[in-house]
A and B are shown apart, each in its own frame.
Chain A
């Protein structure tokens, strides 16, 4: 039960510290006592950082913002899994009730050639923005739209497009993949727009440009291990990758 009924945990944390992109990093061990099971994982990090500051030590840098699982900013690799042990949640929505007293928790940044570490647990995911800039849109200038109900879209298509559009761009799929592939991220956007009537005009160009941009950023190839889908906090389906492959094939071989 929530609401102050939580018990308290004593934990050992092994956290990756790295001064900047060029520096060599290493693990640092910290002991924490009295962590409420009602805390979120990031609130546990707040406690740790307050403790560090009180000891005149620099706080651990980590990315986070909305703390409600939607902005996609938080990005911790916890005990070998992006966003930790629970299925379908981001790090900020992971609560300490998922851990046991006495646990040792290892926390690392996303690791991928395309996501360089900025400091400690924060990485640069600018590659995702550049992929979207290459074609992840429908070219419609402001003011050019017709009445929204002029084009009917079957509910099932709209729902499927929404399912793909639910991607939060956190990069867990890349971090989970042994090849560091961004296929799940890219295919989610390709799928969303390919499923909608508005996306048809640029359909072929879009997939080609986005895949090209993805390759240029240094992401790895997809070998269908499915780790991305398993670790995606928003349940983005592998079917999107299959759809993108079909889209690319039909765009390439006319």
Chain B
């Protein structure tokens, strides 16, 4: 019998969530005041969950490693957020968003969760607008939409190229409102180092105050991990420098299964690597594919300037290969397309590892429209381009500026050079329909869980999922568990040594705290010769080369051995300076890299075991004749949920994926 119970409610797909909401156990307002919830992470999922739960009356504490909850990396999301509003009257519906997401995820996501996501998507937009989030509008005052990859409708809401920033500031303001009212206690510059469990049930966390180095014990009736993804295992990614897997990984080692760790999203449009000094990669939003056309020269090693290459000598390879979706194919398909062209020798730029993203065509198109609007007869080409540039600037100005600052090139004049980069991780802690992990009372929301995006996430769906989980899912699903806690508390109320009386005085808290203190001292006492950064870079290279955009059995087998060797070397030769009792960013990073090394091994093992290609997981041994991902639905239509058994040891558990509403099919965007 499987250890996994996904707890999907009975009934028709479009009835499950509404029926669940009307029938789940509730916690009465008086009891909510005595229930404490710890929220780790303050991005879209964390901030929205914390504020919503505090509004309901729970006692909430929020932890973030940054100096303010507003810095969480959701802030950097550029392009937009999907919602099935059908404001454009172009055929959108809850079902279509559900369908697109399942198909986009290459039939490896759980139907019931995805349908719920599509159902609440509209509420998110309503909530954000009510908070004062200035989403883009048309001249008539209505909200504006644009297109994103993997769909044929316009359902993406946006705020220039800063959608994540605006949505996060909305959630952050809701959070700060609760902080101001005393309903949320904010612990900024704190890092969660472990989950505390008693008899297998979550009772709190150990956190380090990053300014003083003090180790703290925090009690909670439930703990919500809203700690984002683990893309930084690759060293170079579009994630923030501090984004890490530590909270999720420590939870994993305490019994939370890790779902589909190998599902990584490589985003097609990022600024290419410029040298060995590179510390991170910068995304150029998918929204640019609305107006940018991707191409390479038809001739190999064509060293002409892009503007000197005539139209007929350009290969718009996505439009050629995928006429139905063109430049708006999903991310995994677009990324592999770029890799294929570059590997075949058609890449551009000095490194030859880049393709062009060209705005000239659509700049001219906008320019002509503007000229017509302004009643300019027979405008010159220069006039058209000048007018078009103004439109492009309004839509993507901040992205174009960013590109210019980083590369020193002006994308209004020459096409951008772009190449795929690690961006998002679909894998994460396994959760059931309630978003609870395999550890009782421990939840995972947003990118930190595995549940909604299958093997490939569609653009503008991460913001949607983070806010769905926080605003509209967890406020209902948490009550199911906490109502049982209320019964337990009531039964134990006369017990002198009950959990609720002891709280952090329970010996389990001291044991966990001592264990983490020892770990910190261990880092400091190795006194080796190599920097933490150096180990991280080496891990990143192994992962990118052997567990990146294309994977094969030999490479993955080698990678596992290399990572195991790297782990041994790290623990005998890393150099961490300074002390434990002070602000020590290098020490923080040591802990994060140690966890990334262990995760890297699991990712490779997961990728090795999955003998098929699906979404972002591309095994070279499993492809169709024209180089598309070839799934094996007979043997691999399941979620791989890995159970930690000790150093380098995991047990595989499977959650079978049942498609009762969508017919599982070969994904085609042609």
Query: A: which residues have CB within 8 A of B?
Result: 1-6, 19-20, 36, 38-40, 42-43, 46-47, 49-50, 53-54, 56-59, 61, 63-73, 88-89, 93-95, 97, 118-119, 122, 124-126, 128-129, 132-149, 151-155, 158-159, 161-162, 165-166, 168-169, 192-193, 196, 198-199
What residues of chain B lie closer than 8 Å to A153, measured between beta carbons?
137, 141
- The answer for the CA separation of A165 and B70 in the assembled complex, in Å, is 13
- The answer for the CA separation of A131 and B406 in the assembled complex, in Å, is 33
- The answer for the CA separation of A148 and B41 in the assembled complex, in Å, is 28
B173 close to A39 (CB less than 8 A): no
B76 close to A71 (CB less than 8 A): yes
Interface residues on B, range: 35 or more
B255 to chain A, nearest CB (A): 30
What residues of chain B lie closer than 8 Å to A129, measured between beta carbons?
68-70, 176, 179, 186, 188
What residues of chain A lie closer than 8 Å to B73, measured between beta carbons?
65-66, 71
- The answer for the CA separation of A126 and B667 in the assembled complex, in Å, is 49
B471 close to A142 (CB less than 8 A): yes
Pick from A95, A138, A166: contact of B406, CB below 8 A. Answer: A95
A154 close to B173 (CB less than 8 A): no
Number of residue pairs spanning A and B whose beta carbons lie under 8 angstroms apart: 249
The answer to whether A65 and B405 touch (CB under 8 A), given A46-B279, A145-B126, is: no
- The answer for the CA separation of A95 and B139 in the assembled complex, in Å, is 38
Q: Mark B468-503, 1 if CB is under 8 A from A, else 0.
A: 000110010000000000000000000000000000
A125 close to B130 (CB less than 8 A): no
Q: Mark B139-180, 1 if CB is under 8 A from A, else 0.
A: 111110000000000000001101001100100111011011
A3 close to B278 (CB less than 8 A): no
- The answer for the CA separation of A148 and B238 in the assembled complex, in Å, is 31
What residues of chain B lie closer than 8 Å to A136, measured between beta carbons?
173, 176
Pick from A88, A124, A142: contact of B127, CB below 8 A. Answer: A142
- The answer for the CA separation of A58 and B186 in the assembled complex, in Å, is 30
- The answer for the CA separation of A132 and B47 in the assembled complex, in Å, is 14
A70 close to B165 (CB less than 8 A): yes
The answer to whether A138 and B274 touch (CB under 8 A), given A67-B280, A88-B401, A133-B179, is: no
A73 to chain B, nearest CB (A): 5
- The answer for the CA separation of A57 and B586 in the assembled complex, in Å, is 12
What residues of chain A lie closer than 8 Å to B169, measured between beta carbons?
165
What residues of chain A lie closer than 8 Å to B75, measured between beta carbons?
66, 70-71
The answer to whether A53 and B351 touch (CB under 8 A), given A65-B73, A198-B132, is: no
A93 close to B67 (CB less than 8 A): no
The answer to whether A3 and B274 touch (CB under 8 A), given A119-B582, A129-B186, A138-B132, is: yes
Q: B277 on the interface (CB 8 Å rule)?
A: yes
B574 to chain A, nearest CB (A): 10
B409 close to A1 (CB less than 8 A): yes
- The answer for the CA separation of A56 and B68 in the assembled complex, in Å, is 31
Q: B583 on the interface (CB 8 Å rule)?
A: yes
What residues of chain A lie closer than 8 Å to B51, measured between beta carbons?
142
Q: Mark B83-119, 1 if CB is under 8 A from A, else 0.
A: 0010100000000000000000000000000000000
A208 to chain B, nearest CB (A): 14
A51 to chain B, nearest CB (A): 10
Other A-B pairs, 16, CB within 8 Å; known A73-B67, A133-B176 = A20-B582, A68-B280, A69-B405, A72-B70, A73-B71, A132-B172, A136-B176, A140-B127, A140-B131, A141-B52, A145-B129, A148-B143, A153-B141, A162-B160, A165-B133, A193-B132
Q: B282 on the interface (CB 8 Å rule)?
A: yes
**B127 nearest in chain A by CB position:** A145
A124 close to B67 (CB less than 8 A): yes
| 8 closest residue pairs by CB, A with B | A152-B141, A2-B407, A133-B180, A137-B173, A145-B130, A145-B126, A162-B134, A148-B129
What residues of chain A lie closer than 8 Å to B351, measured between beta carbons?
3-4
B275 close to A95 (CB less than 8 A): no
- 22 residue pairs from A and B, CB less than 8 Å apart: A2-B406, A4-B351, A6-B275, A40-B279, A59-B585, A63-B67, A64-B241, A66-B76, A67-B279, A70-B75, A122-B67, A126-B68, A129-B69, A132-B176, A133-B176, A136-B173, A146-B126, A152-B140, A162-B166, A166-B162, A192-B132, A192-B134
What residues of chain B lie closer than 8 Å to A61, measured between beta carbons?
583-585
B240 close to A3 (CB less than 8 A): no
Q: B242 on the interface (CB 8 Å rule)?
A: yes
A123 to chain B, nearest CB (A): 8
B195 to chain A, nearest CB (A): 24
Query: B: which residues have CB within 8 A of A?
Result: 48, 51-52, 55, 66-71, 73, 75-76, 85, 87, 123, 125-143, 159-160, 162, 165-166, 169, 172-174, 176-177, 179-180, 186, 188, 211, 238, 240-242, 272, 274-275, 277-280, 282-283, 349-351, 354, 401-402, 405-409, 417, 471-472, 475, 531, 533-534, 575, 577-578, 582-586
**A167 nearest in chain B by CB position:** B169
**A2 nearest in chain B by CB position:** B407
- The answer for the CA separation of A239 and B169 in the assembled complex, in Å, is 21
- The answer for the CA separation of A147 and B586 in the assembled complex, in Å, is 47
What residues of chain A lie closer than 8 Å to B533, measured between beta carbons?
46, 49-50, 53
B94 to chain A, nearest CB (A): 15
- The answer for the CA separation of A2 and B351 in the assembled complex, in Å, is 11
What residues of chain B lie closer than 8 Å to A124, measured between beta carbons?
67, 211
Among A40, A58, A66, the one with the most B-chain Cβ atoms within 10 Å of its Cβ is A66
B241 close to A138 (CB less than 8 A): no
- The answer for the CA separation of A53 and B532 in the assembled complex, in Å, is 10
A230 to chain B, nearest CB (A): 18
What residues of chain A lie closer than 8 Å to B278, measured between beta carbons?
43
What residues of chain B lie closer than 8 Å to A89, measured between beta carbons?
405
What residues of chain B lie closer than 8 Å to A151, measured between beta carbons?
129
**A88 nearest in chain B by CB position:** B401
The answer to whether A2 and B70 touch (CB under 8 A), given A53-B586, A165-B169, is: no
The answer to whether A43 and B176 touch (CB under 8 A), given A125-B67, A129-B186, A142-B471, is: no
B436 to chain A, nearest CB (A): 20
What residues of chain B lie closer than 8 Å to A142, measured between beta carbons?
48, 51-52, 55, 127, 174, 471-472, 475
Pick from A56, A72, A119, A162: contact of B583, CB below 8 A. Answer: A119
B224 to chain A, nearest CB (A): 15
A164 to chain B, nearest CB (A): 9
What residues of chain A lie closer than 8 Å to B139, measured between beta carbons?
154-155
B134 close to A56 (CB less than 8 A): no
The answer to whether A68 and B402 touch (CB under 8 A), given A59-B586, A97-B408, A133-B176, is: yes
Pick from B137, B349, B350, B577: contact of A58, CB below 8 A. Answer: B577
- The answer for the CA separation of A57 and B131 in the assembled complex, in Å, is 48
What residues of chain A lie closer than 8 Å to B211, measured between beta carbons?
118, 124
- The answer for the CA separation of A193 and B531 in the assembled complex, in Å, is 47
A68 close to B76 (CB less than 8 A): yes
B277 close to A3 (CB less than 8 A): no
A65 close to B242 (CB less than 8 A): yes
A116 to chain B, nearest CB (A): 10
- The answer for the CA separation of A138 and B132 in the assembled complex, in Å, is 7
- The answer for the CA separation of A124 and B211 in the assembled complex, in Å, is 10
B405 close to A93 (CB less than 8 A): yes
A43 close to B279 (CB less than 8 A): yes
